[in-house]
Structure 1
Amino acid sequence: MDLHFGDSKPTDEERAAVDALLGPPESSWEGADRSDADLRWARGGRESRDLLLPGLHAVNDRVGWISEGALDYLCRRLTVPPAEAYGVATFYAMFSLRPRPATVLHVCTDLACTAAGATELCADVESRLTPDSGVQVERSPCLGLCERAPATLAIRAGKTARLGVPPLGEFEDEALSGPIGGSGGKAPGDDGGPSRSSEAESGGGKGRRGRETTRATAVCAPATPETAVRAATAPETAPPEPPPTTAVPQAGAGTLTLLHRIGTTDPTDLDDYRANGGYTALRRAFALGPAAVIREVTDSGLLGRGGAAFPTGRKWQATASQPDHPHYLVCNADESEPGTFKDRVLMEGDPYALVEAMTIAGYATGAHRGYLYLRGEYPRALHRMEHAVAQTRARGLLGDDILGQGYAFDIEIRRGAGAYICGEETALFNSIEGYRGEPRSKPPFPVEKGLFGKPTVENNVETLVNVLPILTMGAPAYAAIGTERSTGPKLFCVSGSVARPGVYELPFGATLGELLALAGVRDNLRAVLLGGAAGGFVRPDELDVPLTFEGTREAGTTLGSGVVIAFDDTVPLPRLLLRIAEFFRDESCGQCVPCRVGTVRQEEALHRIVDRTGADAATDITLLREVGRAMRDASICGLGQTAWNAVESAIDRLGAYE
């Protein structure tokens, strides 16, 4: 491999951040002082490209940005061409390759926050935090805090002394050791993936490295200009972040299946989790065996909850039957769809349930290593999941011999860095492997060649958590919930113009009107967006739409991942559609022409319509339809294929520009 490095050198702080992750360099070829031995042969460097993203996080979190010298040093350590690493670093919104202040305040300007006044909030905050304040204000896509809109997230780079899970509401220190929560060594059969040669990479166990490199975060939601500024400049005075129960209006109700522990069980206490039914499902899985577990999941009719609605049992069976090894499990916790926050609530309020569910999925599919890819904008969820992984490992519920059954499984937590496209499964695999998060062409499908080119099963958080009641109540009882084609309970993220925003659990088949009645919809309802930015609008007279995959499809819209955003008549619809177009333009990975060009043309047309306040919009609407069809028919992945959906539904169903 031909590597070309520049003349820039890393600072001591940047070098320390990388070394905390990878350990000290072994030779001058990696950046250490030159020795006589280095003149006789080249040694050092490792082919561990999958540590590139954790390495970029380490530098960015310590210094606040990634210099050329730091990037070159990281590339030397990992044997990655600097040009390719530059392409990866510039792919993610949370990284900066230009100098910036140590503190960055992200102000959400997406759909729910826009409806709650985020535009005015951002303008006010920008006027107060001038360039001399030491804080950079950035307008951000959805932060996943839609039930508490408008929202801000302050991130402060630097080395701090406090470790562990901090009190809520303070700046939260995040231990950034790379693959956080990884195994202490190779699991049986794990010979086809990246090497794990040091305790620095293990993310757990004795002598763990990386605890020095930390960042601090403060969530402020709902935010006012005063509280947002305080969160960025004086964290000790920032308002405390409320507990996860505030996001679950039904908390404590005896009818809940997926959310029944939120508000009744301490999310940091493993014993409390086990006392409330935890690890009953895993014990039953061991009693049944892998094939019978897959059969239970198949018989339950569980469909994927991420939006594609693919049968989970078929995906598991296809992965388990592959002769190529090792197999991998990937949990997609990078929910970035505007309006979606259910996975965050599950991870914050019931983290051990996800660890148990991942262990069951790994056992059923023959995987010994699982990856949890978690949104970079979710600091509390990261803390809760890191703590849960560490506790379960210490108690023998992860590791070489789980519950004495001879099954080895462990979990690595990988933090995303702000890229909506990484919610697509193959883009997520590329991100973990240290490449740009661009989707792959299919076939081959992930069940054949997924992460590291090996058979991989990928599910999102809600899908995996559904496995627990399937095993505890049995497939027939689970399948009796909901409808014949959409079985089980479903989580819905309700936000916008409602009195009680939050995550609601209802059986499939309930109507949109019933859900909005629970949330307290306002009388002046103008429209409801189902499925988020990639979904479609429905009118106030269409609230009898059944909330099932087939019901929404027959109604000409989509259920997606369960996003429901209500808008009253005070929200300017043309501006809202323009924000959706801006979102897709920003989040397109640019790999394929239909999406790369189409999202820009869509935004330009909507700008022209808004600037003319809708007058003479017919020509641009015709152009929008042509561009939308091209994106839908020819884009590689779902981002481009759905980028036109919401705009199309607003034109055809709502008469947005009439």
Structure 2
Amino acid sequence: MKNCNKENCLKRDILICGGTGCKSSDSDDILKNLKTEIDKAGLSEDVNVSITGCFGFCEKGPIVKIAPDNVFYVHVSPKDAEDIVQEHILKGNVVERLLYVEPTINSKVKKQNEMSFYKKQKRIALRNCGLINPEDIKEYLGEDGYLALGKCITEMTCDEVIKLISESGLRGRGGGGFPTGRKWNFAKMFNAPQKYIICNADEGDPGAFMDRSILEGDPHSVLEAMAIAGYAIGASIGCIYIRAEYPLAIERLRIAIKQAHEYGLLGENILGTNFNFDIKIKYGAGAFVCGEETALIHSIEGCRGEPTNKPPFPAENGLWNKPTCVNNVETLANIPAIINNGASWYNSIGTETSKGTKVFALAGKINNVGLVEVPMGTTLREIIYEIGGGIKNGRKFKAVQTGGPSGGCIPEQFLDTPIDYESLTAIGSMMGSGGMIVMDEDNCMVDIAKFYLDFTVEESCGKCTPCRIGNKRLYETLEKITAGKGEKQDLENLKELSETIKDTSLCGLGQTAPNPVLSTMKYFMNEYEAHIYEKRCPAGVCNDLLRYEITGSCIGCTKCARQCPVSCISGKVKEMHVIDQEKCIKCGQCYGACPVGAIIKK
């Protein structure tokens, strides 16, 4: 298309990522500048410029997509708006410098569906993220929004809805993997004048941002699913428990709830029926333990967020002692698609015991950081090397942590493990809510275990002794080892204490907290032994065990000596320098300053 003008220009949509990551990189200014340029070109009636949810490819944001061309621009800045309009919209010329470069072929890729990051993905929970404006209900309606709710409340009985969800094989995506249909059926069985639906949006795993992105990019899918769940179990009130640290998700939820009310999709007599359902938002204060459903319920009630023994389960005695069904965001986001497409459609995706897809927040030492949604059964290798683009800077893969602080570290030998609930559990990890952190040869696995223990110690509610005291002792032992003071007995103590904590803690946080310790000891015992017996950190991470030495490659440039903050390096110009190990504080300034790599870490 050449010389496009208002008369002959094809209708186009310019979609700008409006997720938290891209907004922090000036996507609002990109939106503003694009609208200005479109107005200047006189194309405001032909070209729609709007925000959308997260595209998932966070490593390459801010992202701008041109539809229906399906051209995908990465690392866009506000100043690029003029070129996009002048070249692409008016002249039909793709702006080459903004295209993604596929590292495997070192070639630029124009279209989203041709990028390796997206090729193996199947987006169900994320189906509308990056496609619609999350602040405009009309766009959600245009993608069959609220069709599933209408079908349920006008054509299906409560039992038929629950049966369909059960037959789909959907399991909870919050970590436990409990069958969703069975959970709904339990809540329906108990008679009560009031029942509740709770959406657990208290996503707190380090590096996890799946639920937040769904709420930012497609809030109506969650509202619709909550209403469907309410109809199925006989509840009329829903509550979204969301972290106050997610202001954008909260803002878009508020907009969505208001719009749903205006369209008669929430409130009384929904779609002219006698079904009533309303939703309120409750802020969480950032307590990781409140991801556990009984602790979450106590927090909503205004009490301290602490778990309680089960049974009774929330389905029988939950919020305000009434039957309550708790599902996480990703689980709910699947519901409308399942209703619209049928149980057999969803059941045909995934593995024998783990149906459908799973969203992962891929982070760490990986080239393509972002959100990915893949069919259950996809291998770790496919996610890391095909979708994720491999390890940064050509480094060697060491491990991948799945399941957040509750998961385990999986070594290279299990890269071909299919991702499903049972397979991950069998190798000492877990699905969790979907965090996936990749580590390379420069990561110390003892230090990684210590990092996660530090997190769980901080987040423990303190109610039960095994978690409150036991995890603290685990952390102290790991701290001792990384400080070069470890002893042989510490290895036995770590294993025995970890098993005790798993067996005796009150809730899932405590029961799974030792997983990082047990998995790293199982697969990386050589690193523990090096720390204890050789007083050495093989990865060169633990400062107390580091030793910097200057090799014969030194050219005597004096740069290291000039950078040293404690003047522990001596030597003349053009002569080999020496580090005084007694004075060295192991800050690494010399290591970074050496221009010829003559300084090594031992």
Output the CA distance in 2 between the equivalents of 1:147 and 1:331: 21
Return the index of the structure with the highest Cα Rg: 2
CA RMSD of aligned residues (A): 2.8
| 8 Å CA contact retained: 2:120, 2:374 | no
Q: Is the contact between residue 494 and residue 501 of structure 1 (CA under 8 Å) also seen in structure 2?
A: yes
Q: Decide which of 405, 410, 418 is 1:538's aligned counterpart.
A: 410
- Matched ranges for 1:219-368 at <5 A: 255-286=122-153, 287-368=155-236
What are the superposed Cα offsets for residues 371-417 of structure 1, whole Å, 9 maximum, x if unpaired? 00001211111111111111111221110111111211000101111
What corresponds to 1:623 in structure 2? Answer: 493
CA contact (8 A) 1:536 1:558 kept: yes
Output one character per residue of 1:554-588: Cα deviation in whole Å (capped at 9) or x when no partner: 33322222221101122333332222111111101
- CA drift at 1:330: 0.5
Q: Counterpart of 2:519?
A: 649
Mapping 1:553-592, distance limit 5 Å: 553-592=425-464
Q: CA deviation at 1:297?
A: 0.3
Indicate conservation of the 8 Å contact 1:251/1:260, yes or no: no
Contact 1:253/1:260 (8 A) holds in 2? no
Q: Does 1:410 align with 2:281?
A: no
Contact in 1 for aligned 2:122/2:374 (Cα 8 Å): no
Question: Do the aligned partners of residues 378 and 294 (structure 1) sit closer, same or farther apart at CA in structure 2, a change above 3 Å counting?
Answer: same
1 CA distance for matches of 2:515 and 2:508? 11
Aligned to 2:546: none
Cα distance in structure 2, aligned partners of 1:526 and 1:493: 18
Residues 244, 284 of structure 2: 8 Å contact kept: yes
Q: Report the Cα offset of residue 269 of structure 1.
A: 0.6
Residue 634 (str. 1) matches residue 501 (str. 2): no
User: Which deviations, in whole Å up to 9, do the C-alpha atoms of 1:94-132 show, x marking residues without a partner?
Assistant: xxxxxxxxxxxxxxxxxxxxxxxxxxxxxxxxxxxxxxx
Query: Residues 468 and 251 (structure 1 numbering): CA distance in 2 closer, same or farther, change over 3 Å?
Result: farther
TM-score (norm 2): 0.67
Q: Determine the structure 2 residue equivalent to 1:388.
A: 256
* 3-state SS in 2 of match to 1:281: helix
Question: Measured at CA, do residues 362 and 634 of structure 1 come closer, stay the same or move farther in structure 2, by a change above 3 Å?
Answer: same
CA separation in 2, counterparts of 1:401 and 1:617? Answer: 68
Deviation at 1:258, TM superposition (A): 2.2
Who is 2:465 aligned against?
593
Alignment TM-score, normalising by the size of structure 1: 0.62
Cα distance in structure 2, aligned partners of 1:462 and 1:585: 27
8 Å CA contact 1:343–1:461 kept in 2: the answer is yes
After superposition, residues 20-419 of structure 1 pair within 5 angstroms as 168=28, 255-286=122-153, 287-419=155-287
Higher relative contact order (CA 8 A, sep 6+): 1
2:482 equivalent to 1:482: no
Aligned match for 1:429, one of 290, 294, 297: 297
User: 2 CA distance for matches of 1:637 and 1:652?
Assistant: 24
2:474 is matched with which residue: 602, 607, 612?
Answer: 602
> Any gaps of 5 or more consecutive residues in structure 2?
1-18, 31-57, 60-76, 79-99, 101-111, 530-602
Q: Compared with structure 1, are the counterparts of its residues 500 and 293 closer, same or farther at alpha carbon in structure 2 (3 Å cutoff)?
A: same
Q: Are 2:311 and 1:440 equivalent residues in the alignment?
A: no
Whole-Å separation in 1 of the counterparts to 2:367 and 2:311: 45
Q: Give me the whole-angstrom Cα distance separating, in 2, the residues matched to 1:285 and 1:475.
A: 14
Q: Taking structure 1 as reference, are residues 550 and 417 closer, same or farther at Cα in structure 2, changes over 3 Å only?
A: same
Shift of 1:152: 10
Question: Is the Cα–Cα contact under 8 Å of residues 254 and 260 in structure 1 kept in the other structure?
Answer: no
Equivalent residues of 1:481, 1:508 under 8 A apart: yes
CA contact (8 A) 1:595 1:640 kept: yes
What amino acid maps onto 1:525 in structure 2?
Answer: F
Give % identity. 41
1:621 is displaced (CA, Å) by: 2.0
Tell me the SS of whatever aligns to 1:657: helix
Aligned mates of 2:129, 2:432 — CA distance in 1: 24
1:506–1:400: structure 2 CA closer, same or farther, 3 Å change rule? same
Tell me the residue number matched to 2:560: none
1:550 and 2:417 equivalent?
Answer: no
Q: What is the Cα deviation at residue 618 of structure 1?
A: 2.2
Q: Deviations over 1:456-514 (max 9, x none)?
A: 00000011111111101100111011112111111111100111111111111111111
Q: Structure 1: how far apart are the matches of 2:20 and 2:319?
A: 34
The amino acid across from 1:279 in the alignment is Y
Q: How many angstroms does 1:168 deviate by?
A: 5.0
Do the aligned partners of 2:198 and 2:326 also contact (CA within 8 Å) in 1?
yes
**Separation in 2 of the partners of 1:425 and 1:462?**
15
Question: What corresponds to 2:340 in structure 1?
Answer: 472
Q: Secondary structure at the match of 1:466?
A: helix
Mapped partners of 1:520, 1:625: distance in 2? 35
One-letter amino acid of the structure 1 residue matched with residue 450 of structure 2? L
Kindly provide the CA deviation profile for residues 136-176 of structure 1, in whole angstroms up to 9, marking residues without a partner as x.
xxxxxxxxxx9969x999xxxxxxxxxxxx99589xxxxxx
Paired with 1:255 and 1:334, the residues of 2 have a C-alpha distance of: 25
Tell me, what secondary structure is at the counterpart of 2:327? strand
Q: Deviations over 1:178-225 (max 9, x none)?
A: xxxxxxxxxxxxxxxxxxxxxxxxxxxxxxxxxxxxxxxxxxx99xxx
SS at structure 2 position matched to 1:415? strand
**2:198·2:240 contact (CA, 8 Å) conserved in 1?**
yes
Displacement of 1:260 after TM fit? Answer: 2.2
Gaps of 5+ in 1: 1-145, 154-165, 171-220, 223-238, 241-245
Alignment check: 8 A CA contact 2:446 2:520 kept: no
Of the three residues 459, 477, 497, the one matched with 2:327 is 459
Contact map agreement 1:373 1:414 (CA 8 A) in 2: yes
Contact 1:300 1:475 in 2 (8 A): yes
